Amino acid sequence: MKKPALVLALLLFAFAGHAQKTISAQKIKLIDSLLTYLYQNDRFMGSVVIRQDNKTILKKAYGIIGDRKGKPIAANGDTRYRIGSISKTYTAVMIMQLVEEGKLSLDDRLQKFFPEIPNADKITIRQLLTHQSGLYNYTNDLQWRSQRQYVSQKELIAVFAKQKPVFEPGAKTEYCNTNYMLLGYIVETITGKNFNDNLQSRIVRKLGLRHTLLPTTNVNPAKNEALSFNFDENSKWQSEPETHVSSCAGAGGILATPEDVSIFLEALVQNKLLKAATVQEMLPQQGKNDINGVNSYGYGILSLPFGTDHTAYGHSGHVDAFHTMSGYFPEDKLSMSLFANTEVMNLNQVAIYLLSILFDKAYTFPDFTEVAVSAADLQGLTGVYTTPQLPMEIRVMEHSGRLWTQATNQDSARLTALSKDKFEFKEADLTLKFTRDEKGMAQQAILAQGGEELKLKRKDPNAAKPAAVEVSEVLLNSYEGVYSAAAFPMKITILKQGTSITAQATGQPAILLTAISDAEFEFDTIGLNIRFKTNSDGKTTGMTFTQGDSIELAKE
């Protein structure tokens, strides 16, 4: 459940349309051939479901979900995926069911359930639903975007209680996973049952769904549950570590099939789970509760326009390397769910292709024709590239005769060869041009994007690495906290991560530091050095932050 992949989604559904007619078999065949083509060119892996008039007309999967004894397990139409933030819609429905039952009011204050949360006496249930609480989004912190171990409600509430609000309740709308974790906990508190028991009794069994649950264990490919994938340092498919469901639950923890999610959204909008008046209150209203000034947010559900004549209600999700989106177009009686278990494509663009076919809109069939580059020439470009202008490394990899790139904490992307030394990623308007030495090995590259250029230098893979310094867990824990100074324009958050720590500046991604002594850490890619200061009692009081210049920061 990463920070609002809320690119929310179908936001790029920007074409005009007309009243929908019955979807032809020819369109379904074209969609299947397109997805097959995308899969064969490493632009899509996952499942799709299209339904019309409450009937499934396409249900198909492309790619793998794991392996058994070294052999890949193929996905199928009933494969379950982690759906990420689509889970919020389910949580919102259960909250509204409790409202209908008279067990909860939208005007109830958060302090009724969790008085220790900042501004709990001001925040209403309605503001949690509409992302207007002003609470800090806990998944902004790397630790909670990649939590691998079980975390209890008590532990997470303690975390939320320490985080400072970012605005006054009701002042604006800002997407926040903390809101829906709290709403999930409120469902459990009121009913005395866990989230999954509520999910099963309030939604799953009512609709006859067969593949929807909040799991308590990691996914199991042998049970037709998908792992998510990216490329490892050897450019081979590698399953991603799983975020523990306890850390995302009502905000992003549900496991389901695309078909189950489509049926759920149809049932919601068709008033099968809630009264018609309640559903109308839940649905977004244009211009109200806008996210990024584009998508209107209701109670756990988005308005997703495709041009001026077609509007869906749904949500999108992103957790680990899963990307999901689902929407129901009530005027067209049409739903589509598109799930992917890898980050090697732009799922939004894939959705636009499919909707353009369904709604008879002009589109250009993707052409992945490119200059042929030998494996030897591609291998000469692989490696890790850095520049002082970016707080991250850029890894270049070869996989199946193609070149890929991935920046630290970013999705991987397949590049298209324009020549043996120049490659592009059209979706991001990015090009990479490499300069080789006399042995054919790249030593530097020019990254061009948006009219700007950065000079990247390839790290020497044979360079001696300093011996690892082991810092005690006690010391690492003592460094955790927020550091600031009046003369410094941002705060630095330090968190323990495994056997080291991460540093995260306000509004920036977290970076993993390397210990060079018990009290000194660095990230040499950008020349960053942090030395912690302690008082006579051994308590950490601040740090010296160096990146070019040095500045003293105090621990808050």
C-alpha span between 358 and 15 (Å, rounded): 12
User: Across the 556 residues of the chain, what is the mean pLDDT of every consecutive 10-residue run?
Assistant: 34 36 93 94 92 98 90 96 98 99 98 98 97 93 80 95 94 94 99 98 98 95 93 68 94 98 98 98 74 69 86 95 96 97 84 93 82 93 88 83 80 86 84 95 92 90 70 92 82 88 80 88 77 91 82 90
Question: How far is CA 232 from its chain centroid?
Answer: 19
Stated length of the chain: 556
What is the 8-class DSSP label of residue 467? Answer: P
Tokens of 134: 């002003």
Place of tokens 């030897």: 376
3-state helix, strand, coil in the chain (%, to 5): 25, 30, 45
Task: Kindly state the tokens that stand for 286.
Answer: 């244009």
Sign, Cα dihedral of 220, 223, 227, 231: positive
Look up residue 505 and give its two tokens: 């500046």
How far, in Å, are 49, 93, 315 from residue 98 at the CA level? 31, 9, 22
The answer to whether the beta carbons of residues 368 and 427 sit under 8 Å apart is no
pLDDT digits (tens, 9 = 90+) for 222-277: 999 999 987 665 556 778 889 999 999 999 999 999 999 999 999 999 999 999 99
**Which H/E stretch holds residue 312?**
strand 310-319
What domains lie within the chain, and their CATH numbers?
Answer: 10-67+75-358 (3.40.710.10), 375-458 (2.40.128.50), 473-555 (2.40.128.50)
Q: Give the integer Cα–Cα distance in Å for 63 and 67.
A: 12
Q: Two tokens at 260?
A: 């189950």
Distances (CA, A) of 1 to 79, 87, 249, 337, 502: 20, 10, 10, 18, 19
Q: What is the pLDDT of residue 529?
A: 86
Element (H, E) at 533: strand 528-534
Nearest Cα neighbor of 1 from 263, 316, 348 is 316
Measured in whole angstroms, the distance separating CA 331 from the mean position of its chain's CA atoms is: 30
Residues paired with 403 in a beta bridge? 398, 415
Handedness of CA 380, 382, 386, 389 (dihedral sign): positive
> Which letter does DSSP use for residue 214 in this model?
-
Predicted local confidence at residue 281, as pLDDT: 95
CA distance readout (Å), 121 to 114, 133, 155, 176: 10, 11, 21, 19
Q: Any bridge partners for residue 520, and if so which?
A: 531
Q: What is the CA radius of gyration of the chain?
A: 24
Q: How far apart are CA 307 and CA 156, in angstroms?
A: 41
**Beta-ladder partners of 335:** 51, 328
The secondary structure element, H or E, covering residue 553 is strand 549-555
> Residue 33 and residue 44: Cα distance in Å, rounded?
12
Question: Chain-centre distance of CA 406, in angstroms?
Answer: 16
Amino acid at 168: E
Model pLDDT, residue 297: 86
Residue 287 makes CB contacts below 8 A (sequence gap 6+) with: 296
Q: Three-state SS string across 12-34, please? A: HCCCCCCCCCCCCHHHHHHHHHH
CA distance 471 to 350: 46
314: enclosing H helix or E strand? strand 310-319
d(CA 402, CA 43): 12
